[in-house]
Amino acid sequence: MDEIKETSEKPKYVGYGYHGGGRKKGSGTGRKYKTFSFSCSPEEYEQIKAKIEESGLKPSHFFVKKSLE
């Protein structure tokens, strides 16, 4: 009769299954980014959101473009 072996070893986790897993932000691109935030009223937020949608840009690209104009 075949014997079943039990192991007490835990499986090795890879990828996104644990804290810190997966690729790091900007991995492999060599690019470095800075982030910032700002506050606005709900009314201003809706107006900004509409302008971003009209532009067809991602929000971060929209703000960088407008800031550098």
Q: Is 57 exposed, middle or buried (0-12, 13-18, 19+ CB in 10 A)?
A: middle
Give the E-state strand segments of the chain in sequence order: none
pLDDT (mean) for 2-10? 64
Q: Which residue has the tokens 């980014």?
A: 33
pLDDT in tens, 36-54: 899 999 999 999 999 999 9
Query: pTM of the prediction?
Result: 0.54
